[in-house]
Structure 1
């Protein structure tokens, strides 16, 4: 079911063995951060998808973010499902997924900025290549969510900055 809904948007990400960036959670303004225990996704090297996150993007409304993670064919695949039960409110929703090592340094990052219409559910997915050895470095996953009031381009520059830090030699 995961792969049938999967709409690949390839984030061209080349991770070199020595490329690591500091924990960038403080670079993302206004996000609500939650840590995902890797135990919730027992075998990150498995292609079987796992549901790693369920939370609201707007605390006062019935609007939900779910994240599904899979790893296979040398790529991490993250699917975001936005479920908006609100009768009138539509939003741009930003979701950041930081894959971090034991020292909380970023190994990989992915950013979604998707629009959610009222009373709908929508799915978007991103995939990026990562070697098995780099995937083995992942010790925790940090998920940040927020309503992106400034629209579809909000936080693209922050993602570019974080991406550069991860991919720098």
Structure 2
């Protein structure tokens, strides 16, 4: 009987140790990503994102916009590619999630701030999507037509949305209201 009790405690201790290690690894991964985050981005309410700022010059007028590449998980081969292009109904945003990890799946938040010369957000794109192991998927959305000539840069923010599929939906709604 004593052996059974100690084995049960050992399993609980292992589970607790595993949870602590997992939380520590997640915090370490976030810290590495945040250190790589572009300090020129003022994200406001968008918390725990890693930001990549990309000047776009006049690409929304001439249609030759650069692809922005970043990651959502800094310890695995899990990447994001953002392509933007002008369209008749607005700005077309293609959000590609590339998950080369064989076993890890995540909810991924991707936010694009379309900014003017002063760094103020003119319009915003946000998507929270699930990335299954070993998948390469893309979605295309149209962001409302804003003052295209005023947009001089984009800031792409990514993170694992650990609170699920609707994390940051409220932040997105508030950002949309501010940029109308």
Moved >2 Å (runs of 4+):
48-52
Q: Distance in 1 between matches of 2:106 and 2:148?
A: 33
Normalised by the size of structure 1, how large is the TM-score? 0.77
1:31 and 2:64 correspond: no
2:162 alignment partner in structure 1: 149
1:97–1:144 Cα contact (<8 Å) kept: yes
1:111 to 108, 123, 126: 126
Any gaps of 5 or more consecutive residues in structure 2? Answer: 1-40
Q: Distance in 2 between matches of 1:119 and 1:43?
A: 32
Question: 3-state SS of the aligned residue for 1:44?
Answer: helix
Counterparts of 1:46-125 in structure 2, within 5 Å, are: 46=62, 48=63, 50-125=65-140
1:161 and 2:174 correspond: yes
Any gaps of 5 or more consecutive residues in structure 1? Answer: 1-22
Which structure has greater helix proportion?
Answer: 2
2:121–2:179 Cα contact (<8 Å) kept: yes
Question: 3-state SS of the aligned residue for 2:166?
Answer: coil
Q: Which has the higher contact order (CA 8 A, sep 6+)?
A: 1
1:101–1:137 Cα contact (<8 Å) kept: yes
Q: What is the RMSD of the two structures over their aligned residues, measured on CA atoms? A: 1.6
Q: Distance in 2 between matches of 1:24 and 1:126?
A: 24
- Higher Rg: 2
Q: Distance in 2 between matches of 1:24 and 1:160?
A: 18
Q: Judging changes above 3 Å, is the alpha-carbon distance between structure 1 residues 49 and 92 closer, same or farther for their aligned structure 2 residues?
A: farther
* 1:155 to partner: Cα distance: 0.3
Normalised by the size of structure 2, how large is the TM-score? 0.73
Q: Judging changes above 3 Å, is the alpha-carbon distance between structure 1 residues 79 and 54 closer, same or farther for their aligned structure 2 residues?
A: same
Count of aligned pairs between the two proteins: 140
Q: Distance in 1 between matches of 2:106 and 2:142?
A: 24
